[in-house]
Amino acid sequence: MSSAVELQSEPNVIELCTLPGADPAAAIAALRPLVGEAAGAGEADAERLAAHLVSLARTYSTEPFTPLEAARHGLGVERPEFRRLLDAFGRIPQLRTAVERGPAGKYWTNTVLPVERTGALDAALNGKPAFPNSVGLYPGPTCMFRCHFCVRVTGAKYEASSVAGGNEMFASIIDEVPLDNPQLMYLSGGLEPLTNPGLGELITRAARRGLKLTLYTNSFALTEQTLARQPGIWDVHAIRTSLYGLNDEEYQATTTKRAAFSRVKKNLLRFQELRQERPDAPRLGFSYIILPGRAHRLLDLVDHIAELNAAAPDRPLEFLTLREDYSGRPDGKLPAAERAQMQEALAAFDEKVRALTPTLYVDYGYALESQRMGVDAELLRIRPETMRPTAHPQVAVQVDLLGDVYLYREAGFPDLKGADRYIAGRVTPDTSLAEVVERFVTERRAVEPMPGDEYFLDGYDQVINARLNQMTADVAAGWADVRGFLR
């Protein structure tokens, strides 16, 4: 790739051209001299090419998984001119910034580009074995909640007798994980990880290898007694608590557990006090799903975090992940009235965060970032007909207590109908995780999707699936060297 063209004027006009209310004409005018240098274009050519480049930036900032041929047809240009446009785009870094800052920019910056840099997407695209870029360990034998949105089969759990052997298996995976990506592994479920009595030992084992694990938990069992029994929990890099409401009534409506919020809050207040005494204590934060009709509760969420911060003034919570609940919305969109309420609530939330919890990092994810910009957000929707039968084990896998390696994050629940079809293999004393993945890939195994299988994919899986479909289409259309637009 040729060296990037330096921006010489109007630095923000181009970079902000994908935002709502931006003036495309101003961006085109600022681009003209840069296009002349990047593409060797005369004045007339530069005007046309600049207009096309702004159009490309706006397309990929709102529809990041558009195949290149679809984008070319949208511009109405022939292949030679499109090739010229792609080359010029790659030489003007302000255009890349514009895409990453656009309404769908989090798809690029949170997931697609970080995974792209690891080579895992190319391995999946080309059917080459590779150790997974992300490994989820699902160590919980049971869960104390029964959340209405969870796919867990009511009453399903792992036998207590499976825990000891399962922990030995998890230890073997921890020992084989490559150390070039310390944050490759996380602890989640499935079921609640803190119900595993050996969790602390696994965390310490990973920490001694330099791995920075994140523990996803409901924190119902994050008591002082649990920490005393399992001191290794203190060695985890971060604890991400899933928050299911902001009072006992909301929690019970979601989890069916009485007085659950009060207990979780008590646990976290005490954990904050203990965390303040440890300079190397885990990072702490929340995941919060905005359920229908609860956007107004975001202000109360800030109050809740501020109260926890007050318990440990020197160790405020570090992060919050906000997500919108799009389940049950057939078109993946919010109704107009609810969308307006959401945008208003997010604006008030932003202001209150700056006032009360200024050090808190808030990740709004794919859709809510668009909502904050005033753009109609629509979540990605993978269907059985667009699922990839070969999945993407080079990118991510999940392993349960039995050693079963699941291809998708929402499949790793015991007794879940149809989920066993998405088991790539089993880790045993004689078979490592790397060998399970290698056999699945080299034997060219595939799972023919059936109706309803799309629910085994969480948001991350859907993004990876969409990216691989995009890359496949680009390669098939003769654009292998530039597949996926941004690289």
Number of domains present in the structure of the chain:
2
Smallest CA-to-CA distance from 400 within 189, 183, 194 is with 189
Verify that 21 and 170 share a domain, yes or no.
no
Are residues 96 and 128 both part of a single domain? no
Residue 460: burial class (beta carbons within 10 Å; 0-12, 13-18, 19+): middle
pLDDT of 333 over the 90 cut: no
Q: Please tell me whether residues 95 and 129 are part of one structural domain.
A: no
CATH of the domain at 152: 3.20.20.70
369-404 pLDDT tens trace: 888 887 765 668 899 999 999 999 999 999 999 999
87 occurs within a structural domain: yes
Question: Is 89 inside any structural domain?
Answer: yes
Residue 427 inside a domain? The answer is no
Q: What is the predicted pLDDT for the residue at 361?
A: 97
Out of 102-111, 146-155, 206-215, least confident range: 146-155
Looking at the fold, whether 191 and 61 belong to one and the same domain comes out as no
Residues ≥6 apart with Cβ < 8 Å to 192: 140, 142, 143, 144, 145, 217, 218, 220, 221
pLDDT of 294 > 90? The answer is no
Residue that finishes a domain, picked among 357, 384, 411 = 384
Of 124, 181, 172, 163, which Cα lies nearest the Cα of 435? 172
Lowest mean pLDDT among 203-207, 343-347, 368-372: 368-372
Q: Residue 413 has what DSSP assignment?
A: S
2 located within any domain: no
Which domain does 317 fall in, by range? 119-384
Residue 145 and residue 87 in one domain:
no
Last residue of a domain, one of 52, 67, 102: 102
Residue among 460, 467, 465 nearest 485 (CA): 467
Query: Which domain-ending residue is among 384, 402, 426?
Result: 384
On whether both 168 and 228 belong to a single domain, the answer is yes
Residues 18 and 133 placed together within one structural domain of the fold = no
Q: In this structure, is residue 453 part of a structural domain? A: no
What DSSP designation does 236 have? -
Are 62 and 211 within one domain?
no
Averaged pLDDT for residues 4-24: 74
pLDDT tens per residue across span 159-194: 999 999 999 999 999 999 999 999 999 999 989 999
| Residue 246 maps to a domain | yes
Return left, alpha or beta for 342; rule: phi > 0 is left, psi -120 to 50 is alpha, else beta: alpha
135: amino acid identity, one letter:
V
- Same domain? 55 vs 134: no
Same domain, 135 and 238: yes
Asked if residue 48 belongs to a domain, the reply is yes
Residues 208 and 60 in one domain: no
Same domain, 205 and 56: no
Q: Is residue 97 predicted with pLDDT exceeding 80?
A: yes
